[in-house]
Amino acid sequence: MASELLNRFESVQQVRDGLRDINYLADDGIAGVAYLADRLGKPVLVEGPAGTGKTQLAKSVAEFTGARLIRLQCYEGMDESKALFEWNYKKQLLRIQADKASDSWTDIHDDIFSDEFLLTRPLLEAITADDPVVLLIDEVDRVEVETEALLLEILSEYQVSIPELGTIEAKQIPLVFLTSNNTRELSEALKRRCLFLHVDYPSMEREREIVLAKVPGVTESLAEQIARVVRSIRSLDLKKAPSVSETLDWARTLLLLNIETIDETVAKETLHILLKYQTDIAKAAKDLSVDE
């Protein structure tokens, strides 16, 4: 294979320390998988509930390494033209019209099917990049099986075959993170190709540290109260538990309201920041306990 491993990381501890420096608090499991992905040249499939920092992990690794982040946001109905490449048909048509006096179709064909007329999409852009790249394939469980097969082909060899141009090989192996919210089961073939990482809601202590790192001005006491109440809310049978980003929004809200102590009244009056379904708000208001 023409592509090369870059060996961005020296150790698991270096990954953990580097991510902490940019306020992503990774445990040894997360740091270890990122380190192995770099050394083995394998993609990482990151599964877990929505809002647990899966996407932010890829963004933080890109920031930490100084790499360019290329993001493919997956959605139902996404096809090759949106993920890989497509031809600039309008520009091709203009070139054909400009060369209509030419007697050689072969010359025109070779001209219009060249790099000049190729519109690269995230997957092709990532494997042809000269600079270091982190490729984020976000919410891969939203795509159809056919598109998943396309991803598998590219991530297996880090190359792509374009009929008009031939095989394009990656100049380097990018760091690849695929995120999934488990809305559907991914194929075993794709899972085999990837390292697996499950990112769950953080422990109370880790969420307290996240609040302290991400929300300037919050006190140790308030951060601890926030983490404790959020843990209590997540223990309820809810349609959608609060994400880490919603925890941070709640912390910022409490700061803006100059609240230093969370009592039952404060918690209930601000539940709409943490919960996004009225049934969940009603359940939490009824069952919530802010006591230790």
SS (H, E, C) 204-219: HHHHHHHHHHHCCCCC
Q: Which candidate, 230, 238, 286, 234, places its Cα nearest to that of 262?
A: 230
Same domain? For 282 and 163 the reply is no
Same domain? For 209 and 220 the reply is yes
Same domain? For 250 and 165 the reply is no
Query: Which residue range(s) make up the domain with 280?
Result: 204-287
- Angle value at C-alpha 250, between 248 and 256, nearest 5 degrees: 105
- Last residue of one domain, picked from the residues 198, 220, 245: 198
In a domain, 2, yes or no: no
- Last residue of one domain, picked from the residues 172, 198, 224: 198
Pairing of strands 44-47, 85-87: unpaired
Return the SS3 of 13.
helix
Summarised one tens digit per residue, pLDDT across range 237-253 is 999 999 999 999 999 99
Residue 2 has pLDDT above 60, yes or no: no
CA gap 106, 126 in Å, rounded: 31
CA gap 109, 285 in Å, rounded: 67
Instruction: Tell me the mean pLDDT in the region 84-98.
Output: 75
Same domain? For 77 and 208 the reply is no
Residue 291 has pLDDT above 70, yes or no: no
- In the prediction, which pLDDT does 103 show? 56
Structurally, the chain folds into a number of domains equal to: 3
Average pLDDT for the chain? 88
In a domain, 247, yes or no: yes
Same domain? For 109 and 241 the reply is no
Summarised one tens digit per residue, pLDDT across range 175-224 is 999 999 988 889 999 999 999 999 999 999 999 999 999 999 999 999 99
CA gap 14, 9 in Å, rounded: 7
Same domain? For 95 and 210 the reply is no
**Higher pLDDT pick, 114 / 123:** 123
In a domain, 4, yes or no: no
CB 234, CB 201: distance < 8 Å: yes
pTM of the model: 0.84
Residue 59 has pLDDT above 50, yes or no: yes
- Last residue of one domain, picked from the residues 120, 144, 176: 120
